[in-house]
Structure 1
Amino acid sequence: MKPCKKNLSIVLAALLALGAGPSITGSPLFRVSRISVEGLRLLETEEIMALSGIAPGANLYEVDLKDAAARIEAHPIVRGARIVRTPPDGVLIAVVERTPLALINLETLCGIDEEGVLIPFHPTFVDLPVITGVTLKVYTLGRPVSEEGLSRCLALLKDARRFAPDLWNQTSEVRPGPDRLILNLVGDGLEVWMKAEDVPAQAEKLRALEAAAKWPTLPSYVDLRFSGQVVVGPPKPRPEDEKAKENLKKKKPLMSEQ
């Protein structure tokens, strides 16, 4: 805060303490004419202003800042909000938005953050990994959800974003299995089996494998779960081979000569 505004705040506080409240709250000098909002990436300034309920022309010292912040925090994308007066006529709203970690396909596509809180879809989420294979019977946007397979997916993606961002950026899909988490990578669609723990070490093994491997046919999977080793599955069937098999099945057997 600038010195002049800081000094003004001190003077106003002193006046209120001395019993000058009625004259201040009734003064036209302290009518809200400036509402500033900071911290937005997904939401619009106008939307936050409307949620706050702070109307231009309201007396600066009659605005209930706690109630206004609570109304803003009710939005599912908002993690927290803080509002301060900037005398003589201003209000500053500082918003902390939730950061999505992945997408999850429920009845509609939603974002989900590290804490398992569901977030309404936003066009900027399109490049996020998608969590599949999870069913939630009850959920509410803006509230955390809990499911064992989902929790394991979130734990892996959280550590990947923090300690192995290249793996997080490569992941197009992750789904839980009984004893593994199955990732599909962008590009060649390589299927990778991982566990939710020791993500940085598993990511390092994948980097080393991708740098060294020159397989003519993509393996059906790569298993990184075991310490000190990588298990590479058999070659993935090629589309043309699968098509040839289907054609053979369709052919009728030749009639034996009588």
Structure 2
Amino acid sequence: MQLDARIMKLCYDEYLRKCLVKAAEAIGISKWGSPPDGAGSYNDEPEDTDFFCRCGDYNRPYGRFFLNWYSQYLIDHGDRVLAKAKLAFGDTPISVKLPGIYWWYETNSHAAELTAGYYNSVNRDGYAPIASMLKKHEAALNLTCVDLSTVDEQKDFPEAKVDPEGLVCQVLNAAWDAGIPVAGENALPCYDSEEYDKIIEHVKPRNVPAFMRLSAFTYDRLNQDLLEEDNLKEFQLFVKRMHGNFSPSIRYIMLLC
């Protein structure tokens, strides 16, 4: 759960450095053509760094310029990839997986998301631009971590300022606002009813319009433990609950991988 500023290694690629230099020169501030200093290293927490701390450089003019360039470059790359995919696959539905990076979500900077290229912080919604790009290509958004409980995760990792449910809620709202379908999958192995209850709470919330329900769910991390008698019975019940009592326009697809 530590901060890994080296995730920004993309910015140190020879060609990306040139792009950053050009972006800085385009706004007339050539000294901004370098990745940030003071972003810390693998074992640093956000408050231990100059860039990600509460009043850090991430929310100052250079930091905002850099993070906007960094995230937009990745979104533009996704835009180009999806354009090629649509040409190759035609009308075949396409789903784009969005990792659930929920550690440090309760800090101002959301440092883990920033280092991964998601420009999402306490004062900026980083998922709306992604959802808008997916809408352009009529692609679904596939979100991980719909199985996680914030209370449980905070109990296990109190120092990491996690909030997986807050992240799920934000991403779902971005997708609904953009009018794109959402799929989901679990981040960790699931075997008991409490974990399955959390999944169903996100996938099939009660008393909401059909568009606010997930269109598909992937059960990830199939392993030998799942096939043990008690675990398999719980899973069978989960599958029945997922496929029961849903709107005719919604189809729940259980994929084992």
What is the TM-score when the length of structure 1 is the normalising length?
0.26
The higher radius of gyration belongs to: 1
Task: Tell me which protein shows more strand as a share of its residues.
Answer: 1
Q: Flag the structure with more relative contact order, 1 or 2, with Cα contacts below 8 A and sequence separation at least 6.
A: 2
Task: Tell me which protein shows more helix as a share of its residues.
Answer: 2
